[in-house]
A and B are shown apart, each in its own frame.
Chain A
Amino acid sequence: MSLRSKDLLGIKELENEDIELILETASGFRDVLGRDIKKVPALRGKTAVNLFYEPSTRTRTSFELAAKRLSTDVISISTSTSSVVKGETLQDTARTVQALGADFIILRHSCSGTAHFLAKNLNASVINAGDGTNEHPTQALLDLFTIKEKKGVIKGLEVSIIGDILHSRVAKSNIYALKKMGANIRLIGPPTLVPTYIKELGVSIFSDMKTGLKGADVVMMLRIQMERQGKGFFPSTVEYFRNWGMTSEHLARAEKDAIIMHPGPMNRGVEISSDVADGPKSVIMEQVTNGLAVRMAVLYLLSGVRS
C-alpha cells in the first residue's frame, strides 16, 4: 500500500483513490491510538524532520507524536533555533537535513510553493504542513476523516466554510478535498476575503450567514488572523464577530444534527463564541485526535513508495 507520489504537497495533486486510502489507513491507526500501548513498530529506523519556518504548536506536535507512534526518530527545527537566522537558503537547509539521513521532511513555511520546490530538489519525502496561503493537506484530510466518522458519507453533504477564504490554506485544501468527495460547498465571509472568482471552482459564495448556513450539515470555521485587521479586509473584530462570528443564534440556521469544526487555534469571541466552541455540536477536540491518526497514515503510506 502506498501513495502514487513520494510527497504530499496538496490535496489538489491527490487522486480520489489516494484520499480514500489515507482515510482507510487512518481508521486503523485511530484504533491503535485507543489502545493502552499506542506505539507500533511500523516505521522503525526511519527519520522524520519537522522543518518549521513558521510558529506552530499543534501541527508540529501532532506530526512529532504521529512519527513517534510509528517508532520513527523525529526532530523538530524551527526558525528561531536553526541556521536560518544566519541567512542560509531554504534549499541548503533542506539538503543539509537530507544529508543527515532524513526520510521525511515535514515543511511548514510562510511562502506558498515551498513544499513543491523542496520536493523537486530532494530525494526525501516532503510533507506539506502548510505553505503560505496555498494548502494544508493533512488538515483537510483530518477534517474529511472527522466528517466521515460523524456523517457516514461525504457525498451530497452541505458544507459551509466561514471566514478568511482568500488567505486560508485550510479552506483551500478543504475545498479541493470536499469537492473531490462530492460535497456541496458554500463559502461565507466578507467580500474582501471571498473573491468572486472562487465561484469558478464550483462553489457558491455568500456574504450573509443566514442564507449561507441554512440547512448546512457541516459548519467549518476558519481562524481570523489578527494582522488582517487594519488592512481594510474588515473594519474591526467586533464588527466581524457580529456578522460572521459563530453564535448559537447563527448555528440554529444549520441542520439540527450539524457538526461544527475549527482547525485551531481559536479566537474566541472573534470567529466563534465559547458556547458554540464548547457546545454539543463541536467536534473540535476530535479533529485534533483524528489529526494524529491521519498524519500516521500519511507517514506510513509515503514510506511505502520509498521502500
Chain B
Amino acid sequence: MNILIKNGHLVDPSQGIDGIYDVLVAKGKIQELKPHATKGKDRQPAKNISGRKTEDAGLITIDAEGLLVVAGLVDMHVHLREPGFEYKETIQTGTEAAIAGGITSVCCMPNTNPVNDNASVTDFILKRTMEKGFCDVFPVGAITKGQKGEELAEFGMMYEAGCIAFSDDGRPVMDSLIMRRALEYSKIFNVPVISHAEDSSLAAGGVMNEGLLSFKLGLKGIPAQAEEIMIARDIALAELTGGRLHIAHVSTKGSVELIRLAKKRGIADVTAETCPHYFSITEDAVEGYDANAKVNPPLRRKEDLEAIRKGLKDNTIDAIATDHAPHHRDEKLGEFDLAPSGISGFETSIGLSMKLVDKGVLTLNQLIEKMALNPSKIVGIRKGTIKHGADADMVILDTHNEYTVDTAGFRSKGRNTPFEGWKLNARPVATIAKGRIYTWE
C-alpha cells in the first residue's frame, strides 16, 4: 500500500524542514519528500481543512491542505499495564489510545505484574505487541529485581530482548550505591537510566504537593524537595560514573534549575522530560478532592508550572512524555488518600502541548523535537523523523478547530483525567503506523 500525503504543512526538525510538502510512503517507509508546487501568491492557512482520503490503484492520497504533517509522536514514558493489570489497560487498548493521540512509538515502564525485570517478561510484551499492538512498543526494563531497589536486574539479557532503557519508575532507587552501579553497568549498552526522582522518606506517603493548600485540605503533602534532593543526587552520580541519566516527569522549579545547571556545567550526561499536566494545571485541581488530579509527582504551584514552561523553552527539558497511567474508574472513586496516582494521558497530550505553541512558549519545531525527535534520540530508536527511508510513522494534525475533551470517546480504558471538558485545538485526523493508516472524522 502506497500513501501520498499532499499539500500538508510539514515540520520535521530532523531535517530542518518547515514548509508545504508532499510525502510519498511506500512499503511502510518514507519514499519521497518534495516541496508542494504552489502557484504564485503566498499561501494562506485554509479555512476548510480537508484531510479527504481517496484511493486509486493501490495509492491512497490524502489531501492535507491546512493540516500539519509531522513524524509520529514518540512517548518515552507510559504504562500499558499488561501483564498483570489488564483491567486498567492492555497493550491493545493502550496502543490504540496512543494512535488516537498521534503517538506511534511508546516506551512502557516495567511496573507490571510480574515486573519487567527479566527477558521473558520483555519477550512477552513484544510478542503481545506483535499480535495486538497498534503502534511500536519499546519496553523499559527494571533497574532492580522486582523494583525492590536491592539487586540489579539482568540488564544485558533485557537489552538483548529489546529493552531500550532501565527504570524503577513508580519507585525511586533509594540506595545510592545501587543507583551508582546501574549508571555504571548501563554504559555497556549506552542506554539511559531513567530516574523516578523522589526521596521516599521525605515524601513520607504524601498524596499532593506540600504547602498551604495541602494543610487546608488536610491531605498529606510531598515537598518539592523530595524530588529535588534525588535529582541532585542522581546528577552527582551521573558525574561520578559517566553514565547516561534521564530524569522522568520533572515537576518543580528547583528541579528545572538543577538540570539547567548540570547541563550548563557539562559535568553529567543528563536529559529530562516533563508531562503535559505539569505545564497545564496546578495543585488547585486537587481542591474538591478530585482523585483524577492525584498524580505522582504531584501537581505543583503556579511558579513551578511557569518554570517548567521556561525549562521547555530554553531546552533544559528535552522531552514531553505523557506518563500515561490509566486506572479503573472504581479505583479513582472514593477516598483521595487511597486512590492510585496517575493520569490517562495519551489522548490529551498533543492538544495540551500545542497550547504551548499557541501561547508562544515553544516554536512548532521545538514542540515536535520534544514530542518525537528528542525522545527517540534519548532512548536510541530510529523514530521521530520523516527522512527518506525512515519508518513511515506519521501524524496529520488539525490545529485549527476547537473541540472538547470527552473521556467517553477515549480509546484507553483509563478515563482518569483532570482535563475532561477542556477546550483544545490540536488533534490527529490521521495517524500512520506499522504500515496502516488510521483516520478520524
Contacts and interface: CB of A to CB of B under 8 A. Distances in A.
Contact of B218 (A113, A117, A195, A197): A113
Q: Most chain-B Cβ atoms within 10 A of its Cβ — which of A91, A112, A114, A131?
A: A112
Interface string B185-225: 00000000000000000000000000110011111100000
B336 A112 contact: yes
B215 A89 contact: no
Given A116-B288, A117-B289, A198-B212, A131 B334 contact: no
Contacts of A215: none
A201 B213 CA distance: 11
Contacts of A114: 335
Contact of A90 (B216, B220, B334): B334
A166 interface: yes
A133 B208 CA distance: 14
Given A89-B330, A89-B333, A117-B289, A111 B338 contact: yes
Contacts of A198: 212, 215
B63 interface: no
A175 B109 CA distance: 44
A197 B210 CA distance: 10
Contacts of B337: 111-112, 132
B218 A134 contact: yes
A253 to B, nearest CB: 27
A213 B219 CA distance: 29
A201 B212 contact: yes
Given A109-B335, A116-B288, A117-B334, A131 B212 contact: no
B284 to A, nearest CB: 15
Nearest to B220: A133
A165 B249 CA distance: 32
A111 B212 contact: no
Contact of B215 (A90, A113, A197): A197
Given A116-B289, A200-B212, A201-B212, A131 B333 contact: no
Contacts of B217: 112-113, 134
A134 B211 CA distance: 14
Interface residues of A, number: 24
Nearest to B338: A111
Interface string A143-172: 000000000000000000000001001001
Given A112-B289, A113-B289, A197-B212, A91 B218 contact: no
B293 to A, nearest CB: 12
Contacts of B218: 112-113, 131-135, 169, 172
Given A112-B217, A113-B219, A197-B215, A89 B289 contact: no
Interface residues of B, number: 17
Contact of A111 (B211, B215, B333, B336): B336
Contacts of A242: none
Given A135-B218, A166-B215, A198-B212, A111 B335 contact: yes
Contact of B219 (A12, A112, A195, A200): A112
A93 B11 CA distance: 54
Interface string A40-66: 000000000000000000000000000
Interface string A163-185: 00010010010000000000000
Contacts of A116: 288-289
Nearest to A115: B289
A94 to B, nearest CB: 10
A266 B211 CA distance: 29
Interface string B406-432: 000000000000000000000000000
A90 B338 CA distance: 11
Interface string A103-129: 000000101111011000000000000
Nearest to A114: B335
Given A112-B289, A134-B217, A90 B212 contact: no
Contacts of B334: 89-91, 117
A134 B220 CA distance: 10
A133 B338 CA distance: 15
Contacts of B215: 166, 172, 195, 197-198
Contacts of B216: 12, 172
Contacts of A172: 215-216, 218
A169 B217 CA distance: 10
Nearest to B213: A197
A289 B217 CA distance: 29
Contacts of B338: 111
Nearest to B336: A113
Given A116-B289, A117-B289, 9 more contacts: A12-B216, A109-B335, A112-B289, A113-B335, A117-B335, A132-B218, A134-B219, A200-B212, A201-B212
25 contacts: A12-B216, A89-B330, A89-B333, A89-B334, A90-B335, A112-B218, A112-B337, A113-B219, A113-B289, A113-B335, A114-B335, A117-B334, A117-B335, A117-B336, A132-B218, A133-B220, A134-B217, A134-B219, A135-B218, A166-B215, A172-B218, A197-B212, A197-B215, A198-B215, A200-B212
* In the A-B complex, the 10 residue pairs with the closest CB atoms: A134-B218, A113-B289, A112-B218, A111-B335, A133-B218, A111-B337, A197-B212, A113-B336, A200-B212, A90-B334
Interface of A: 12, 89-91, 109, 111-114, 116-117, 131-135, 166, 169, 172, 195, 197-198, 200-201
